[in-house]
Chains A and B, each alone.
Chain A
Amino acid sequence: MARLSYPLDNRRFVGMMFLTPALLYILLLVGFPFLLAIAFGFSDVTVGNTDLNFVGFQNYLAVWENDIFRQVFETTIRFTLISQVFILIFANILAVIFTQNFTGKWFARFIFILPWATPVSLAMIGWLWMLDTKYSPIDYLLLQTGFLGPNGILSNNRNLFWLATPDLSQISVIFVQVWRMTPLATVILMAGLSSIPTDILDQAEVDGSRFMRTLLQIKLPLILPIMVIALLFSMITMFGDMTVVYVLTRGGPVDYTRVLGLYSFQVGIEGGNLAQGAAISLFAFPLLLAMAIFMLRTASRAEVQ
């Protein structure tokens, strides 16, 4: 057959056309900053002096020997792991509820997706007020119901200081993260649940399986690969997040809620030490990479059809 001369009939050309936008996006907005961060991490660049002088692993060694960094690193991992447990539990329960038939399902789904659709900083300002040391509406309700105030069950104080005590500030941050990330995981799990062929579920019903057996032995195993993907998404997002703590606590009280993203920002941008800020954020990279590889392998191995 004669070679066609129309460019749109050329598979290579069309292929490149479809790939170019994605490639440009990755190269310019992901690849370039990433390489720049690596370059910064091995240099002595600061906001004041932008010359790139190679200093080897000096920044990484300095960061690793820094006690604050170690605590920040540990806090980040702890926050991420604890919130993932709750996100998975809630997302599974909600996904099962939202794939049932009930009146007002559409509205319930809409309301529920809002935390994820709201810009993070805006939502955090809302939470800042909810968790305010003096004017928290939660405290007010607890006060009215006798849980707070003189002879209160929880405390004699009129406030719980949600963002100001070591324990409560950590619980608050984890809670807000769970609130923010659960919708995405739920939506992914819902997609997974509704992709299960109805024949399989009908078959389970005719076979005599009740709700819990169908859920635990049919539905959950079948959406396991999708669950791993949802977990990976929310873990990576959360591991690198700084907005929540930046708005709510600035890492305080002391260092109790300081996480990697925030610390890197504070050292690199606010403190002006770009090199060390880059080195701090790059510590997360090998960990996330290993995690992603492990989880994607698990997902593809669990793939059943």
Chain B
Amino acid sequence: MNARMSIVQLSGLKKYFDSVRAVDGVDLAIDQGEFLVILGPSGCGKTTLMRMIAGLEKPTAGHIEIGGEDVTDLPPRKRGVSMVFQSYALYPHMNVFNNIAFPLRAQRRELKFDKRAIRERVESTARVLEIDMLLDRRPRQLSGGQRQRVAIARAMVTQPAVLLLDEPLSNLDAKLRANARDELKDFQRSSNITAIFVTHDQIEAMGLGDRIVVMSEGKIQQIGSPQSIYDDPANEFVATFLGSPSMNILSADRFRFGFRPEHFLPKTLHDNPENSRIFHYFVKRVEYLGSDRLVYGYVHGHDNDLTLAKVPSNVRVSLDIESDYEFAVHNRDIKFFDNVSGQRIEQQSLAQAK
């Protein structure tokens, strides 16, 4: 049993829209104070999963527990969750103060807040998010970053057990986004709130998540720390979804195997080539990307699988196009996958079968 208490527990959760299986049997335990990222391509069911936790969508089957209580049939206001939408969904006709105060007023009966307590709570929450000088403004008078803070303040003002975030950074421009990511993580750490963050952006997921849940076609593909998911993918989907450029996948007789472009380097750069597998590599094209050179080519015997190599610019090897080279991958960096199911196969079991 985990030393930390799990605050959200999903079991056998399903949501079908007619014939579409948006979420197809999800079991997941989320720890108190954890920053959990749900990562997946669009249409993988991640947003539907979050909406079910929020109570906006009724599950077709399965159970949701929050704080040890079964909330599957409870409306959102009785779940102790709050949510930040991708669009921020600020109430455009209310100023910032009234936006942040709205959940307190709506839940006045449950929270037992009088007028003065509401004012104090709104002001203190606004101070934490450094928007206390904007309380009289309307949403349309705010910048993207300010809107995002207002949305987070409104979500935090009731001090919920769980904060749900649906791609809240995707409306910010690239420069602001890195900054906002940093602040969001700091804020979550210091407030020790449990955050569930949905995104399709793997950099965001890797940077923010204590754990990442990779989803595809309504199912959880893998749960783990950013590093374990990247280094030790459970199946071919996870292996190719994470990483840019994505993992090279080559077909063999009874299985497929893959390696990441940054592990695929000229043989001379490997310390002990006896631990590595050597490939004859035909270089077709080289892109110079500043810190790296991205090499496009084909491995001998795999003429249909375009294979990429990412060679750091600071290693002085010359790579000419339309030429053959010997490249190598360290054995530990080669992952094997089942031909049919795409699941990871251990190298030993593969050797035994041979």
Tell me, yes or no, whether A208 is within 8 Å of chain B by CB.
yes
> Of the candidates A202, A207, A213, A222, which one forms a contact with B154 in the assembled complex, judged by CB atoms under 8 Å apart?
A207
Given contact pairs A218-B91, A305-B92, A205 touches B82 in the complex (Cβ within 8 A)? no
> Of the candidates B82, B92, B106, which one forms a contact with A304 in the assembled complex, judged by CB atoms under 8 Å apart?
B92
Tell me, yes or no, whether A197 is within 8 Å of chain B by CB.
yes
B113 to chain A, nearest CB (A): 12
**A202 to chain B: which residues have CB within 8 Å?**
51, 54, 56, 83, 85, 89
Given contact pairs A197-B89, A199-B87, A202-B56, A207 touches B102 in the complex (Cβ within 8 A)? yes
**A4 to chain B: which residues have CB within 8 Å?**
none
Tell me, yes or no, whether B212 is within 8 Å of chain A by CB.
no
**B89 to chain A: which residues have CB within 8 Å?**
197, 199-200, 202-203
**B81 to chain A: which residues have CB within 8 Å?**
206
B87, A206: Cβ atoms under 8 Å? no
> What separation, in Å, do the CA atoms of A208 and B77 have in the docked complex?
4
For B160, give the chain A residue with the smallest CB separation. A206
B165 to chain A, nearest CB (A): 12
> What separation, in Å, do the CA atoms of A77 and B118 have in the docked complex?
46
A207, B82: Cβ atoms under 8 Å? yes
B110, A208: Cβ atoms under 8 Å? yes
Tell me, yes or no, whether A266 is within 8 Å of chain B by CB.
no
Tell me, yes or no, whether A210 is within 8 Å of chain B by CB.
yes
**What 0/1 readout, one digit per residue, does chain B (72-89) give for beta carbons within 8 Å of chain A?**
000111000111011101
A305, B140: Cβ atoms under 8 Å? yes
**What 0/1 readout, one digit per residue, does chain A (204-246) give for beta carbons within 8 Å of chain B?**
1111111001000110011000000000000000000000000
A197, B87: Cβ atoms under 8 Å? yes
> What separation, in Å, do the CA atoms of A217 and B92 have in the docked complex?
11
Q: Is the interface of A mostly helix, strand, loop or mixed?
A: helix
**A222 to chain B: which residues have CB within 8 Å?**
92-93
**A210 to chain B: which residues have CB within 8 Å?**
77, 106
**What 0/1 readout, one digit per residue, does chain B (88-117) give for beta carbons within 8 Å of chain A?**
010111000000001101110010000000
B93, A221: Cβ atoms under 8 Å? yes
A147 to chain B, nearest CB (A): 44
**B56 to chain A: which residues have CB within 8 Å?**
202, 205-206
For B164, give the chain A residue with the smallest CB separation. A206
**A199 to chain B: which residues have CB within 8 Å?**
85-87, 89
**A208 to chain B: which residues have CB within 8 Å?**
76-77, 103, 106-107, 110, 158
The chain A residues found within 8 Å of chain B, CB to CB, are 197, 199-200, 202-210, 213, 217-218, 221-222, 304-305
Q: Offer 21 A-B interface pairs, CB within 8 angstroms, sorted by A.
A: A199-B87, A200-B89, A202-B54, A202-B83, A202-B85, A203-B89, A204-B91, A205-B56, A205-B76, A205-B77, A206-B55, A206-B77, A207-B77, A207-B103, A207-B154, A208-B76, A208-B158, A213-B106, A304-B93, A304-B138, A305-B92
